[in-house]
Amino acid sequence: MASLLYRLGKTAYRRWPFFLVGWLLVILAVGGAAATLSKPTSDAFTIPGIPSLKAAELQGTLFDGQEASADAPSVTVVVAAPKGHTLREKTYAAAVADLVTDLKTVPTVPSGQDGPVGPVEKAAALKQQAVAGVDAQAKTAKKAGRSFDRAAALAAAQKSLVAVSPLSEDGRVGTIDFTFDVPSVADVQASTQQDVLDVMKDARASGLTVEAMGQGMQTQEMGGGSAEAIGILIALLILALTFGALVTAGMPIVTAVIGVGVGLGGITALTGFIDMPSTTTALASMIGLAVGIDYALFILARFRSELDHTDDRAEAMGIAVGTAGSAVVFAGLTVMIALAALSVVGIPFLAWMGAGAAATVLVAVLVALTLLPAILGMLKSWAFKGRFRRNRPKRDARGLVVNNGTRWAGLIGRAPLVFVLLAVVALGALAVPMKDLHLALPTDSTAAQDTTQRKAADLVTEAFGPGRLAPMLVVVDGRQAGDPAQQQAAYQTVTGWVGKQQGVANVLLAQSNDKGAMILVQPSSGPEDVATDHLLSSLRDGTASIERQTGTTIGITGTGPIQSDVSTKLSDALPVYLAIVIGLAFLLLMIVFRSLLVPLTATLGFLLSVLATLGATVLVFQKGTFGLFAGQPIVSFMPIFLVGVVFGLAMDYQVFLVTRIREAHVHGATFREAVVDGFRNSARVVTAAALIMTAVFSGFIMMDNVIIKSMGFALAVAVVFDAFVVRMLLIPALMYLMKEKAWYLPAWLDRILPNVDVEGESLHRPHLEGHWGSGDADPDERPELVDA
């Protein structure tokens, strides 16, 4: 591989016009496809086959297509009169009536029976229906000669109405519900949402408080421009300090932005054919920008280093791409394997997120291997212009560079066991809070506090209780329950059983026919509360018994149960995904390092950093420690996605650092010399790369979207833990302890594994001939280690 990439790098440097024109054509083609084929993305997080969706399908069968949908573009407009007033007062009643009329003029808002209705009017209609139902029951009882307490029945009906009434008990807060007349959330136009917001703004002039929530009002654009800009500015500063030249510092930024642009353009074009999750572009941008800068940084740093040994710039570029480029290829492969493997867990939206990010990483690798050399070929000596600091490193008696990397490696080498214990204990302690991990999907009640969705959710919680935001629908199939009278008795029995469950605030037999019934359940807790999940589990655990008793079949659906099932599915998929990723990456690392112990320690170090990251995320993000974030559940798919991304990034650092250690080893260095030389050549660059990734990921913490905010925080923390604690502390300490055994590989396995020559052993490197001597001297007495 090193020879092939050597020729590619050298050719791209010399034939730079062809490569630049080629990339320009790619950019134009992808941009044109994105502009003409793009469609809105989706915010639905569903998984086929989960129990709640099966219950929704049963609902559609029993009630002629009235199927609950996790992707229905529903909207709830919440209106509130000033404190001390009610919506029944003439002034506010007129204002609400005007609001309802104006809403019906918005495109795709139904204007008929399914359209918006004022909360006072709807509450009155529901009350009339309840009274009519009680009167019908009284009439039936009279015909059968049975006694009937009409007053008690009316009181019970009134209590049940609390679960569905659009008007609060004090009459101050009401809800106006409707669903956009489009197939799904992805089909709601941003202009339509803006029309609704404009109507709401006009209604506020009357003194009403008006806010909106629901899936139909979710914004389709993820934003992220400001987050990326901040990350890029910090990355530019770090690169400038690393290279000491402004032009050099700007090149990784330019190539990374081009790579991300091509990757996002491809994803945007695919939305014309695929229902793409809205988070795909933001996460692909986050990952692509970070690795794109890092990959260019490693090749550029190696190119500058090779110029110390040759005046032929094309040759130096060939060597840089042949060596550092080989590491980039395998580092990129580990990231792509980790991301693409998300498709094997059977979760469609997660698979597309992983595929989009993996494709962007592939583009970043190709850009680093071809576009960067071409730009350097075009700039020639101008690549190092704008120099404000000259690199004059100290050297020992043998001419070897002595820098902070060698000093750090020498320090660890004096007491490696102590540093191993320090790293393990520190990361282990940070992992402890993970035991309290609570996973959930984002809801309106966890949105940013300044959004209309959050304000609407807070109003509903205050007026109707938190359970109004987490309704459950119990679907009862009564086709095997007997005659109509037996069916109705069965429905009443199931309703009574549901109402007795702990955590149920209210229950209502909402609808029934000769096939089945729908029972609306309002929990006493909100959608992000653990108690709501416990209620769902309790209901499901008891369904077998009540089914036998009533002769019915029961399913539970609704937005809350669907989200809970998605979270459970994601948790169950994590071990399978982890096994696949670690297995494939372990094999890849064995090929790269020709060792068993190096891949093993790399993997164990990764597990430590992931556990510590999850613990820190629970502590800071979920529990709200330090007051940096409002405490809320962790996004359900964050752990599995974190595993994929962090494993790929962790292997990046492992490959870039340990390949330099192995390069010294295969050229005759002792185990101590190899570790020190690896840090001499890579510590500064790996540190810069880790700081850049941390800066890029940290920028996304400032976004309003809770998914991206939590992912940005977790990824930034993970990079800090893995790069600076595991790769820069734990791994070199273990390399010292393993000594030459670190490179042990059984002979039979050595024959089977392909030799990819990541270290560039096949390349002509005159300056390395006899570089390390025989290795007989005591390495602790060698000049570079004394100075270290």
Domain for residue 522, yes or no? no
What Rg value do the Cα atoms of the chain yield, rounded? 32
Positive or negative torsion for Cα 90, 93, 95, 97: negative
| pLDDT given at position 720 | 92
Q: How confident is the model at residue 779 (pLDDT cuts 50, 70, 90)?
A: very low
Asked if the model's pLDDT at residue 420 lies above 90, the reply is: yes
| pLDDT given at position 87 | 94
Residues 588, 330: contact at Cβ < 8 Å?
A: yes
Domain for residue 732, yes or no? yes
Asked if the model's pLDDT at residue 352 lies above 70, the reply is: yes
Distance CA 211, CA 173 (A): 11
- Which whole number is the average pLDDT over 450-466? 91
| Boundary (domain end) residue, out of 319, 352, 382 | 382
| pLDDT given at position 541 | 93
Domain for residue 236, yes or no? yes
User: Which position has the token pair 């939590």?
Assistant: 710
Q: What is the pLDDT of residues 579-591, one digit of tens each?
A: 888 887 788 888 8
Tell me: do 375 and 427 sit in the same domain.
no
622 burial via Cβ count (<10 Å: 0-12, 13-18, 19+): buried
| pLDDT given at position 784 | 38
Q: What is the pLDDT of residues 276-306, one digit of tens each?
A: 766 677 778 878 887 888 899 889 888 888 8
Q: How confident is the model at residue 633 (pLDDT cuts 50, 70, 90)?
A: confident
Tell me: do 585 and 710 sit in the same domain.
yes
Distance CA 637, CA 321 (A): 36
Q: What is the pLDDT of residues 57-81, one digit of tens each?
A: 899 889 886 665 666 788 999 999 9
Supply the DSSP string of 423-477, one letter for each residue: HHHHHHHHHGGGGG--EE---GGGS-TTSHHHHHHHHHHHHH-GGGGS-EEEEEE
Total domain count, the chain = 2
Tell me: do 290 and 430 sit in the same domain.
no
At 232, list the tokens: 């890029």
Domain for residue 701, yes or no? yes
CATH number, domain containing residue 8: 1.20.1640.10
Higher pLDDT, 706 or 6: 6
| pLDDT given at position 384 | 78
- Expressed in percent and rounded to 5, the helix, strand and coil fractions of the chain are 70, 10, 25
* CA angle (397, 403, 408) in 5-degree steps: 115
| pLDDT given at position 278 | 67
Asked if the model's pLDDT at residue 786 lies above 50, the reply is: no
Least confident of 11-25, 150-164, 426-440: 150-164
Distance CA 407, CA 397 (A): 16
Q: What is the pLDDT of residues 223-272, one digit of tens each?
A: 455 666 777 788 888 888 888 788 888 888 899 999 989 988 888 888 77
| C-alpha distance from residue 691 to each of 290, 449, 655, 716 (Å) | 10, 30, 17, 9
| pLDDT given at position 758 | 61
What pairing do the DSSP bridges indicate for beta strands 401-402 and 439-440? unpaired
Tell me: do 364 and 434 sit in the same domain.
no
Tell me: do 340 and 449 sit in the same domain.
no
Domain for residue 86, yes or no? no
Residues 393, 401: contact at Cβ < 8 Å?
A: yes
Residues 725, 420: contact at Cβ < 8 Å?
A: no
DSSP state of 768: G
Higher pLDDT, 641 or 101: 101
| pLDDT given at position 783 | 36
Cβ atoms within 10 A of the Cβ of 611, count? 17
Tell me: do 311 and 450 sit in the same domain.
no
Q: How confident is the model at residue 445 (pLDDT cuts 50, 70, 90)?
A: confident
Tell me: do 356 and 440 sit in the same domain.
no
Enumerate the β-bridge partners of residue 179: 74
Tell me: do 452 and 358 sit in the same domain.
no
Domain for residue 320, yes or no? yes
Tell me: do 302 and 414 sit in the same domain.
no
Quote the mean pLDDT of the chain.
83
Q: How confident is the model at residue 393 (pLDDT cuts 50, 70, 90)?
A: low
Distance CA 398, CA 783 (A): 7
| C-alpha distance from residue 386 to each of 242, 249, 683, 701 (Å) | 13, 10, 24, 33
Tell me: do 362 and 437 sit in the same domain.
no
| pLDDT given at position 211 | 96
Phi, psi of 443 (to 5 degrees): -130, 175
Q: What is the pLDDT of residues 158-185, one digit of tens each?
A: 777 777 889 999 999 999 999 999 887 7
Distance CA 111, CA 362 (A): 49
Domain of residue 23 covers 1-43+224-382
Domain for residue 415, yes or no? yes
Of 290, 284, 349, nearest to 50 by C-alpha is 349
Residue 516, helix vs strand vs coil:
strand
Phi, psi of 557 (to 5 degrees): -135, -170
| C-alpha distance from residue 524 to each of 497, 510, 531 (Å) | 16, 18, 9
| pLDDT given at position 430 | 94
Tell me: do 375 and 412 sit in the same domain.
no
Alpha helix ranges (H) inside 667-767: 671-699, 706-719, 731-738, 747-752
| C-alpha distance from residue 678 to each of 72, 401, 719, 727 (Å) | 55, 12, 20, 12
| pLDDT given at position 426 | 95
Domain for residue 48, yes or no? no
- What HEC string does 694-718 produce? HHHHHHHHHCCCHHHHHHHHHHHHH
Tell me: do 269 and 322 sit in the same domain.
yes
- Which whole number is the average pLDDT over 493-503? 92
